[in-house]
Amino acid sequence: MSTAAVHCLAVALLLVGVSPGFAAYHRYWGDVHVHTNLSDGKGSLDDVLTYARDVAHLDFVIVTDHDFGNGGPWRMPKADWERVQQKVEEYTVPGKFVAIAGYEWTSQPKYWSEVGPGEPSERLFPGPPRFYNHKNVYFPAPVPYLFNAKDQATQTPDLLAQAVRAAGGLIQNNHPTTGPDGHDQFDYARSCDAVIANTEMLPDVMFYQGKRYVIGGERAVCDFLRRGGKTGFVGGTDTHDLKPAARTAVYATALTRPALFEALRHRRNCAVSQARIALDFRVDGRHMGEEITVEGPPTIAVDVTGTDTLREVALVRDGRVLLTETPSASHVRFTHVDGSFRGHACYYVRVTQADADANGNPSRAWSSPIWVSGNGEGVR
Ligand SMILES: [Zn+2]
Ligand SMILES: [Zn+2]
C-alpha cells in the first residue's frame, strides 16, 4: 500500500472513531510479574528495578509482590506498599523506562472453613474452599493500600474487580492451569472482563530438568474463551531471583504509564515465553484485543519476526487450530480469508520457534485474541 493510501486509511479510521492504524503504535517490552525481598523474592526494589532497566533492557516492569505469604504468616505492611509506589515514581522516566506498582492477590483454599482434614487452614471465610489462584493487580497512580485476598470485602475475583475498577487499576489472571489450583480462577461475572483484562499465558506442557509437566495453561485459557470469557494475553517471569525479562509486548502510543495502561486495558499486547518474537496480528485491519463486526468473511493478517527459525505459526479459532504455516525462516507474513466463518469467532495466533532453552522448551508467542461478529451479506 502506498504512503498516501496508508494515510487515507488512517484518516478514514479516525473519522469513524476506531483505533488508529498500527503505525501509530510502538512495541514496548516488559515483565508484568516480578517479586522482590518485600515478599518471597531475592533482592531489593532497587536491585530488581535496576536489573530490569540496565541488564534486561526492558521498557517497563510491574513489581508484584505477594499481599500474603505463608512463612509466618506474613502480610505486606502498608509502609512497604507505600515504598513500592515511591520507588516506581523514582525510576520512571517517560519515553525511557516505566515502572509500575502492583501486587499479587494471593488467594489460597486454606482461607475457607471447610478445608479437608489435615490440610493447612486459616478458616477466615465460611464454606467449602475456593481455588481462585493468584491475580496481579496494578495501578497507574498511587492508591492508599492494596485490596487483599484475606479481606472479606475483596476475597473473590468479583469483589476484587469492583474495588480495583473504582481505583482505576487493572487485574491479570496468573499462571492458569487445568489442575485443581486453578479450578475457580475464571469464576467471575462477564462484567469483570473489562478490568480483569489479561491472563498470563503458559503452554500446556513444559519441561524442567528432564521431566515433563502438564500444566494446561493454554487449555485453561481456551476453555474460558469458549465459555464466552474475554481476556488478552500477557507474559511474566514470576521471577523470585532477580531476573526480570521481556515476556510481554505492549502496543502503545508512547512509553508512558497512561499509554501502557490504555494498551493493556484494551488487550493490545502479546505474550512470549522466552525470545522477543515480534508478532502483528489483525483481522480486517483491526488490532489484537478488539471486538469487531465484519460485513463478510474476515481477512486475517499475520506478520511474525522471530529470533530463530519459526517452526510453526498457528491460527487458532475458538480454541482449535484453523491453519498452520511452517516457514523455514525467521520471518513470515500471510493473510487468510476465513471462508468457513459462521457469524462469531475468537481468533488468536500462536508461534513456536525451532530454538530451545536448557530444559528443552521452545520459544513461543501468543497474540491476544480478536473477537469477530458477522453482520451483513456473505456472513452466514
Ligand atoms: Zn502466584
Ligand atoms: Zn508470583
Strand partners, 125: 112
d(C-alpha 41, C-alpha 49), whole Å: 13
Ligand 1 centroid – CA 105 distance (Å): 8
Q: Domain 25-272 is in which class?
A: alpha beta
Ligand 1 centroid to Cα of residue 136, in Å, is: 8
Residue 117: the pLDDT is 86
The confidence score (pLDDT) of residue 16 equals: 33
Ion ligand 1 — residues with CB < 5 Å? 134, 174
The position carrying cell 468479583 is: 158
| CB 169 within 8 Å of CB 137 | yes
Radius of gyration of the chain (CA): 21
- Assign a CATH topology to domain 277-380: Immunoglobulin-like (2.60.40)
Ligand 2 is an ion; its neighbours by CB within 5 Å are 104, 238
Choose among 128, 131, 124, 196: nearest CA to 158. Answer: 196
Q: Say which DSSP state 54 is in.
A: I
pLDDT for 19: 43
pLDDT along the chain (380 residues), means of 10: 37 37 83 96 97 98 93 86 98 98 96 90 93 97 95 97 98 96 95 98 96 97 97 98 97 98 98 98 97 96 98 97 96 97 97 97 98 74
Separation of CA 201 and ligand 2 centre (Å): 14
Distance 116 CA to ligand 2 centre (A): 25
Task: Pick the closest to residue 95 from 244, 260, 275 (CA basis).
Answer: 260
Q: How far is the CA of 205 from the centre of ligand 1 (A)?
A: 18
Residue 338 DSSP SS3:
coil
Q: How many CB atoms lie within 10 A of CB 93?
A: 11
Please report, to the nearest 10 degrees, the dihedral formed by the alpha carbons of residues 273, 277, 282, 287 taken in order.
70
Return the pLDDT at 7. 38
pTM for the model stands at 0.92
Domain ranges of the chain: 25-272, 277-380
What pLDDT score was predicted for residue 181?
A: 87
Ligand 1 centre distance from Cα of residue 52 (Å) = 20
